[in-house]
Amino acid sequence: MRRGYHHGNLKEALIEAALALIAEKGAGGLTFADAARAAGVSPAAPYRHFRDREALLAEVAQRGFRELEEALTKAWNDARPEPTQALHRVGKAYLSFAREEPAYYAAMFESGVNIGADPALRVAAEAAFSAVRKAVEAVVATLPAEGRPPVLMMTLHIWSQAHGIASLFGRADQARRPIPMSPEDLLEAAVLIYLRGLGASKG
């Protein structure tokens, strides 16, 4: 019988097992016992690193938010060549993450994990949100000074657009809704319409 210490790194083995199970069954289908079984360890072994299933999910979600933040920051590329184009890249990076990392995405947004209960998870989630906010803040600075929208409100709107399109039309599973265009084109059009409504002339 295999034991956890044969993995060399039990924590990583459990996280990999959790990701595989989430990809197969969805976040709701993940159990502590299944994660242990998939990692090849005893049912008690996961408690060496995680107090329960919620803690394991929180760790997976935390790593997902870190990867998302890294992808968004890379896409932003310090607003080159100009903020609106860079914002479109950020949106596309969000869609790409949702499509290419469905297990992380499910753990982050579909597992019901309590972000506020885990300090490390909260920090990671806020960092990902801040990557979008930074992009929005730069775009807001290009809008007419009269009547500029609050950055937080606009960030929430842009995040909601990206997340909604990713969840409905950009999934990598059979829950994806068919549309006569790419999710990227749909998001870019939605953001352009939104920005023009706020008085932006670029895009």
> Domain for residue 203, yes or no?
no
The domain of 32 spans 1-50
pLDDT in the model for residue 80:
93
CA distance 151 to 153: 6
Handedness of CA 33, 38, 39, 41 (dihedral sign): positive
DSSP tag of 3 = -
pLDDT in the model for residue 2:
37
Q: What is the pLDDT along the chain (203 residues), one digit of tens a residue?
A: 334 444 468 889 999 999 999 998 888 888 888 898 988 888 888 788 888 999 999 999 999 999 999 999 999 999 999 999 999 999 999 999 999 999 999 999 999 898 988 999 999 999 999 999 999 999 999 888 888 899 999 999 999 999 999 999 988 776 678 888 999 999 999 999 999 888 765 44
CATH code, domain carrying 186: 1.10.357.10
Whole-model pTM: value is: 0.89
How many structural domains comprise the chain?
A: 2
Q: Are residues 189 and 173 in the same domain?
A: yes
CATH code, domain carrying 5: 1.10.10
- Cα-based distances in Å from 166 to 74, 75, 154, 181: 19, 17, 18, 13
Q: Are residues 61 and 140 in the same domain?
A: yes
CA distance 169 to 177: 5
Q: Are residues 99 and 42 in the same domain?
A: no
